[in-house]
Amino acid sequence: MALVNGAIADALSAWWRRRAGATVSRRQWVPGLAVAGVLLAGLLGYGAWRLGQRETSDGPVIGLVQEALPNRLDGPNLPADEAFALYARDSEALASARCDAVAWSEAILRGVNPEFLAAAGTETLPKAMARYFLRPSLDAVPEATLTKVWNDLRGEKTRQLQEIGQLAGNKLGCPIFVGAAAFRYDRDDNDWHEFNSVLLVGLNGQVTGEYDKVHPVPFSEYVPFRRSWPWLHGLCRSLVPPVMSSLEPGRDVRWFDLTGRDGRRTWRVATPICYEGTFDHVCRRLAVQDGRKRADLLLNLSNDGWFVLPGPGARPSTEHAQHLAHYCFRAVENRLPILRAANTGISASIDSCGRIVKSLGYERGTFAAKVLVDARTSLYSILGDAFASGVSALAAGSVILLLWRGRRGRDRVNAT
């Protein structure tokens, strides 16, 4: 893009100077325009060749559930239990689609991961309850009250998992990918921390897989310097709205092994959460490991309800379309089909060539997407940002060389 723009700019500059009566040699602009034209033709030819390849095979059928629930910093927002009920009820529309899995959007549940639910009786857990669920002063709530709150809350969270299991086993016949806030214990600082996660809930209500977002949004979901410079962390955290939880980044990437409802085929699913899809290197980590393609598809769970326009309803902003466009690039870069389940939109099915096969727009709804798994591996999956790094180094070296030559020329003029 930069090369083509530069070649066009050189040609227009030469034309303008010739109109002004200056003498302009064709060598100043024709070679650049010719090289740009050849490279552009090559790119178009390569794209046509890639689009014409047929190296896909049948993949899973994934049902996507989209609600239209705005999230506002100043409220009011729909209570979490009502949002959960909406997703559960609307998922029933996919019962006849014979899905291999169903996907809800990001951050539907809170505190339902097995590690957290199994932690009854630990010394730090009542304090964690106060910090994350009650949010009062720890000194103002008796320990017995916190313990009772925890017991009631554990019953509620366990019941939610059982309801998902009943929905999955009795009506859908397949597991459900659920966006959730997960809590994990850190032995280094003897405390619990919150993660933005995806859980795969099976037919019996058991969590069979988990992934924690490895790249939370800086100074929104995640405020750095918590351990290194606590005073700076506190200062930065004070600038974040209190309604935004302070999350920790996931420790490593994980995949989900999804077995089809007929039991004959298993696919590996990677689940970038929300804005992880705007970072090419993050999605590459999820797609490739040790130089080999590890994922068969990317399933993005997102909550874009934060980006609706002010006013009644869920009026979309340009961010929704931009977010979807980023995932089209990720599909091409890694030759992976991508599915998006996004609150307030845009939920979509994208093939491995970056083409949007189907989308829901911004309205509430569901649809089942048939995935075509691509056997191809892209150059970017293998090389990563090596090409971009090399071009950047070459450009920096060229600038340094030009500055050095210019200074040397001035020194010669001064010497004479």
Predicted confidence (pLDDT) at residue 138 exceeds the cutoff of 60: no
Residue found under tokens 């939109």: 345
If residue 380 lies in a helix (H) or strand (E), which one and from where to where?
helix 379-383
Boundary (domain end) residue, out of 16, 31, 52: 52
Residues 74 and 146 in one domain: yes
Q: What is the pLDDT of residues 173-204, one digit of tens each?
A: 999 999 999 988 887 877 788 899 999 999 98
202 and 322 part of one domain: yes
Asked if residue 128 and residue 42 are part of one domain, the reply reads no
Per-residue model confidence (pLDDT) at position 378? 87
In 3D space, the residue among 283, 259, 289 whose CA is nearest the CA of residue 338 turns out to be: 283
Residues 87-129 have pLDDT tens digits of 999 999 999 999 999 999 998 998 888 888 887 555 566 666 6
Nearest-angstrom CA–CA distance, 347 and 365: 9
Nearest alpha-carbon partner for 319 in 358, 274, 283, 282? 274
Residue 179 lies in a domain: yes
Domain co-membership, 262 together with 189: yes
Residue 333, helix vs strand vs coil:
helix
Look at residue 136 and tell me whether its pLDDT is greater than 60: no
Residue 232: inside a domain = no
Same domain, 116 and 177: yes
The answer to whether residue 208 is domain-embedded is yes
Q: How far apart are CA 376 and CA 289, in angstroms?
A: 15
Inside any domain, residue 226: no
Whether 304 and 160 map to the same domain: the answer is yes
CA 190 to centroid of chain Cα atoms:
30
Q: Confirm whether 235 is domain-assigned.
A: no
Residues 6 or more apart whose Cβ sits within 8 Å of residue 211: 197, 198, 250, 253, 254, 255, 256, 270, 271, 273
The rounded distance, in Å, linking the Cα atoms of 95 and 284 is 33
Query: Is residue 271 pLDDT above 80, yes or no?
Result: yes
What pairs with residue 339 in β-bridges?
Answer: 299, 349
Instruction: Tell me the residue range of the domain where 30 lies.
Output: 1-52
Residues 292 and 306 in one domain: yes
Q: Is residue 229 part of a domain?
A: no
Assess contact for 277 and 213: CB atoms under 8 A. no
Residue type, 45: G
Mean pLDDT for the stretch of residues 372-383: 89
Residue 315's pLDDT is 75
Please give the pLDDT value at position 122.
Answer: 58
| Whether 35 and 102 share a structural domain | no
Centroid of chain to Cα 183: 20
In 10 A of CB 153, how many CB atoms? 16
- pLDDT tens, position by position, 9-20: 888 888 888 887
User: pLDDT (tens digit, 9 = 90+) per residue, 205-261?
Assistant: 899 999 999 998 888 788 888 778 888 878 888 887 776 777 888 989 999 999 998
Instruction: Tell me the pLDDT band of 283, cut-offs 50, 70 and 90.
Output: very high
Residues 81 and 132 in one domain: yes
User: Do the beta carbons of residue 347 and residue 67 sit within 8 Å?
Assistant: no
Q: Which of 87, 66, 64 is nearest to 303 (CA)?
A: 66
Statement: residue 67 has pLDDT above 60: yes
| Class of residue 250 by CB neighbours under 10 A (exposed 0-12, middle 13-18, buried 19+) | buried
Q: State the Cα–Cα distance between residues 253 and 272, nearest whole angstrom.
A: 9
Q: Is the pLDDT of residue 25 over 70?
A: yes
Contact assessment for residue 102 and residue 174, using Cβ atoms and an 8 Å cutoff: yes
HSE-CB of 24 using CA atoms within 13 angstroms: 17
Residue that is last in its domain, among 52, 69, 85: 52
Q: Is 317 exposed, middle or buried (0-12, 13-18, 19+ CB in 10 A)?
A: middle
Closest listed residue to residue 181, CA positions, set 213, 136, 229: 213
Annotate 96-122 with b (16+ C-beta within 10 A) or e (fewer).
ebebbbbbbbbbbbbbbbeebbebeee
Secondary structure tally for the chain: helices H, strands E = 11, 15
* Gap between the Cα atoms of 61 and 59, Å rounded: 7
Residue 266's CATH number: 3.60.110.10
For 7-51, what is the HEC assignment? HHHHHHHHHHHHHCCCCCCHHHCHHHHHHHHHHHHHHHHHHHHHH
Total structural domains within the chain: 2
**409 in a structural domain:** no
On whether both 48 and 61 belong to a single domain, the answer is no
**What does the mean pLDDT of the chain come to?**
86
- Determine the Cα–Cα distance for residues 245 and 128; give it in Å rounded to an integer: 13
Residues 171, 313 within the same domain: yes
Task: Read off the pLDDT of residues 337-363 as tens digits, 9 standing for 90 and up.
Answer: 999 999 988 999 999 999 999 999 888
CA 369, CA 353: separation in Å to the nearest integer?
16
- Residue 126's SS3 state is helix
228 DSSP assignment: T
Longest dimension (CA), the chain: 92
Are both 46 and 89 inside the same structural domain?
A: no
